């Protein structure tokens, strides 16, 4: 028998400065919950902090690439509020570049944040839910992923690779958890939403050799350029936050939740690619096992 999560809930959100993180911070506060908002530049949330009671909002400087920052944030949250009920594992950034033209230091840097930083947060969330919260209450871990993690596209190779790795390690983590711990985990595969994280994403130059009419890159270059425009039609981060709020009410949430019709389209496209290959080459596996 599991205990119910107390109300108001205590959230810890990484990457709260903009986009999903800021929208989720404001959503949780508007519903009466308590938020520990973490970000690299706390001054960004000064206006929100000034109009919110310190009993409802704690703002902490956190760089998820630094283990001491992550551990300190969880410790301070528990010290101030006694528990953490919801962790939004959101901190990350995007980058546009063809694989061949991506410098290794840039590729490693995006993995440091999007993969290593995120897994650091997930590990500490699980420990907190299991060992520090009242017995049986567990907690909710929401990992903000991307449709690129399941359907990588041109220009998003390394970004997609970080999310692909995050998808894999999160699913493995979920299968390692004891159901009695009452820890629920969901990967949210976001499509393109109105976010400074997308529109401020670094864009590395594309070699001319790739810019041919027959390359798979041309169409995506057009899409990427469209997303950089101020009037681009994308998802609403406020509505995204409301959907995550609804997700938290589900007693048995899904492992994966695509959000955005473009996300569903991309993922369905990937499933078709995989299904086609499985069917066409199934016979190749019929005689490879040992006799």
3-state secondary structure of 40: coil
Q: Do residues 149 and 160 lie in contact, with contact meaning Cβ atoms separated by under 8 Å?
A: yes
Please give the torsion angle defined by the CA atoms of residues 55, 59, 60 and 63, in that order, rounded to the nearest 10 degrees: 140
Give the span between the Cα atoms of 269 and 215, in whole angstroms: 19
Beta-ladder partners of 193:
235
3-state secondary structure of 196: helix
Measured N-to-C along each axis, helices 67-81 and 118-131 cross at an angle, to the nearest 10 degrees, of 30
Taking the CB of residue 2, how many other CB atoms lie within 10 A of it? 13
Catalytic residues: 145, 159, 163
Q: Do residues 88 and 14 lie in contact, with contact meaning Cβ atoms separated by under 8 Å?
A: yes
DSSP per position, 224-265: HHHHTSTT---B-HHHHHHHHHHHHT-SS--SEEEESHHHHH
Give the span between the Cα atoms of 54 and 196, in whole angstroms: 27
Taking the CB of residue 32, how many other CB atoms lie within 10 A of it? 10
Q: What are phi and psi of 144, to 5 degrees?
A: -80, 110
């Amino acid at each position: 028998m599991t205990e119910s999560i107390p109300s108001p809930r205590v959230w810890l959100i990484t990457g709260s400065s903009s986009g999903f993180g800021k929208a989720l911070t404001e959503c949780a506060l508007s519903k009466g919950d308590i938020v520990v908002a973490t970000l690299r530049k706390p001054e960004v949330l000064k206006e929100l902090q000034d109009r919110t009671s310190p009993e409802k909002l704690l703002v902490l400087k956190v760089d998820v690439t630094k283990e001491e920052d992550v551990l300190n944030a969880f410790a301070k949250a528990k010290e101030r509020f006694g528990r953490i009920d919801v962790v939004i594992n959101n901190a990350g950034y995007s980058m546009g570049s063809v694989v061949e033209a991506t410098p290794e230091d840039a590729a490693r840097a995006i993995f440091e944040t999007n993969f290593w930083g995120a897994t650091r947060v997930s590990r500490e969330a699980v420990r907190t839910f299991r060992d520090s919260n009242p017995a049986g209450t567990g907690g909710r871990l929401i990992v903000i992923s991307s449709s690129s993690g399941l359907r990588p596209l041109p220009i998003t190779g390394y970004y997609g690779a970080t999310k692909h790795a995050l998808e894999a390690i999160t699913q493995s983590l979920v299968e390692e958890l004891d159901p009695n711990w009452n820890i629920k985990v969901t990967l949210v595969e976001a499509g393109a939403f109105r976010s400074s994280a997308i529109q401020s994403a670094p864009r590395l130059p594309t070699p001319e050799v790739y810019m041919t009419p027959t390359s798979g890159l041309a169409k995506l270059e057009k899409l990427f350029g469209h997303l950089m425009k101020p009037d681009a039609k994308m998802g609403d981060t406020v509505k995204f936050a409301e959907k995550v709020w609804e997700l938290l009410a589900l007693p048995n949430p899904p492992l994966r939740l695509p959000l955005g019709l473009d996300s569903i389209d991309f993922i369905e496209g990937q499933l078709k690619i995989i299904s086609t290959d499985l069917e066409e080459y199934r016979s190749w596996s019929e005689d490879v096992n040992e006799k």
